[in-house]
């Protein structure tokens, strides 16, 4: 029997992880934009706590894998010594605003697409095109110029990476291993206390399961690319789940199949759609849905474009930076996370007020 290539094996596992992710997200209604809007509009924190739980679980397992030397997170895009602070702030804000006016973030777009939402198909294509434009296309040079002008080289401060443990190690004056354990314990402990101190969340099995499973899937993805994907001749890039750049790559892959190679990101994108489709069918939730009017379509197109550009500038989305990036304890991930939430809050105000100026006035 012919041996399966490493790249294909990684893609198979990525597809399986994507299926589980899509099924869980569909059945538990896991959604960052929905979580923030629940707080603002209804005062319900359950879905937000589910998101925070996913972050805590992802950090706990990912950092444990790193400490055990199963993976080396320093090889990920999140722990480079170049701190893209402006990209994190601008990109995160654009993404947060965009996901709000288009009805959901990158992973929610895939989940809704699998459940029959045709609006999400338009968002998928538009977000993917603008993401790829920002990576390699028309707006790519502008992105590179911004990064060259604003990225902070931490090696000039004698800091090897932008990981929080590195900062703790230098500030307190302890070894990096101890700093990592302190950082991991304090952050995950604080998040878990925040989540489970609430009686409503403790009673919500759906929210707890969603957070637990998705957090574990993020950590397992590091294992797939870092261990299964390890190859001396053609190593797989160390990565976990993220849903902006892989959407752009997926569109390119669909158009150039015979001359393209599938990777973990592309396979996981397809898996999420399939997993959501299966779960929506099993739960009798599959329903074809389209735009209600032209203005609805315009909002979704603008939001999708902003998510595509913002997700690339920030190096990730609500999952790619908000959970995967956070699992590496990268400083830029915290900046992006705060910016995404801020952009989402402004987007909610915009939808309430009807225009940008009114939304700004309502804040101040």
pLDDT value at residue 235? 76
Q: How far apart are CA 65 and CA 300, in angstroms?
A: 39
87 in Cβ contact with 81 (< 8 Å): no
pLDDT value at residue 74? 92
Q: Residue 128: which residues within 8 A CB-CB, separation 6 or more? A: 247, 248, 250, 251, 308
Degrees, nearest 5: CA angle 338-343-349: 130
48: left (phi over 0), alpha (psi -120 to 50) or beta: alpha
Q: How far apart are CA 141 and CA 241, in angstroms?
A: 26
Q: How far apart are CA 140 and CA 151, in angstroms?
A: 16
Torsion sign, CA atoms 184, 187, 189, 191: negative
95 in Cβ contact with 311 (< 8 Å): yes
Q: How far apart are CA 362 and CA 349, in angstroms?
A: 7
Torsion sign, CA atoms 57, 59, 63, 65: positive
Q: Residue 306: which residues within 8 A CB-CB, separation 6 or more? A: 94, 95, 97, 98, 101
The secondary element (H helix, E strand) that includes residue 186 is: helix 176-196
- Print pLDDT tens along the chain (364 aa): 357 888 899 999 999 999 999 999 999 999 999 999 999 999 999 999 999 999 999 999 999 999 999 999 999 999 999 999 999 999 999 999 999 999 999 899 999 999 999 999 999 999 999 999 999 999 899 999 999 999 999 988 888 899 999 888 888 888 888 999 999 999 999 999 999 999 999 999 999 999 999 999 999 999 999 999 987 777 788 999 999 999 999 999 999 988 788 999 999 999 999 999 999 999 999 999 999 899 999 999 999 999 999 999 999 999 999 999 999 999 999 999 999 999 999 999 999 888 777 777 766 6
pLDDT value at residue 72? 94
The string of pLDDT tens digits covering residues 318-363 is 999 999 999 999 999 999 999 999 999 999 999 988 877 777 776 6
238 in Cβ contact with 263 (< 8 Å): no
- Which residue, 237, 238, 270, 236, is CA-closest to 253? 270
Residue 256, SS3?
coil
Residue-level length of the chain? 364
The secondary element (H helix, E strand) that includes residue 87 is: helix 85-101
- Which residue, 240, 208, 203, 265, is CA-closest to 27? 208
Neighbour-count burial of 286, counting CB atoms closer than 10 A to its CB (0-12 exposed, 13-18 middle, 19+ buried): middle
Degrees, nearest 5: CA angle 254-123-215: 85
Statement: the pTM of the whole predicted model exceeds 0.85: yes
Which two three-digit tokens encode residue 286? 């599959």
3-class secondary structure for 318-331? Answer: CCHHHHHHHHCCEH
């Amino acid at each position: 029997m012919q041996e399966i290539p490493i790249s294909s094996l990684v893609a198979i596992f990525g597809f399986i992880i994507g299926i589980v992710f899509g099924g869980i997200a569909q059945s538990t209604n896991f959604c960052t934009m929905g979580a923030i809007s629940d707080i603002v509009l209804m005062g319900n924190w359950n879905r937000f706590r589910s998101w925070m739980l996913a972050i805590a679980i992802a950090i706990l397992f990912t950092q444990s894998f790193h400490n055990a030397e199963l993976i080396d997170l320093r090889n990920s895009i999140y722990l480079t010594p170049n701190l893209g602070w402006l990209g994190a702030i601008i990109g995160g804000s654009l993404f947060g605003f965009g996901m709000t006016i288009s009805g959901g973030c990158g992973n929610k777009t895939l989940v809704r697409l699998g459940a029959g939402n045709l609006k999400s198909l338009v968002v998928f294509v538009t977000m993917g095109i603008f993401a790829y434009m920002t990576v390699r296309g028309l707006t790519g040079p502008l992105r590179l110029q911004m990064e060259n002008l604003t990225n902070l080289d931490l090696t000039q401060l004698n800091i090897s990476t932008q990981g929080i443990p590195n900062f703790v190690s230098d500030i307190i004056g302890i070894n990096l291993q101890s700093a990592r354990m302190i950082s991991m314990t304090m952050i995950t402990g604080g998040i878990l206390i925040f989540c489970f101190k609430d009686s409503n969340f403790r009673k919500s099995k759906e929210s707890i399961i969603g957070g637990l499973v998705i957090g574990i899937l993020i950590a397992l993805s590091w294992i797939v690319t870092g261990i299964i994907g390890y190859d001396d001749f053609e190593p797989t890039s160390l990565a976990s789940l993220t849903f902006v750049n892989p959407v752009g790559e997926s569109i390119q892959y669909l158009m150039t199949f015979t001359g393209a190679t599938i990777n973990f990101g592309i396979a996981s994108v397809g898996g999420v759609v399939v997993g959501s489709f299966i779960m929506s069918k099993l739960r009798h939730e599959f329903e074809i849905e389209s735009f209600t009017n032209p203005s609805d379509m315009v909002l979704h197109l603008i939001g999708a474009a902003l998510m595509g550009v913002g997700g690339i500038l920030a190096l990730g989305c609500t999952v790619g930076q908000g959970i995967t990036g956070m699992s590496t304890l990268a400083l830029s991930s915290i900046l992006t996370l705060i910016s995404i939430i801020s952009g989402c809050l402004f987007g909610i105000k915009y939808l309430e007020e009807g225009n940008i100026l009114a939304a700004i006035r309502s804040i101040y």
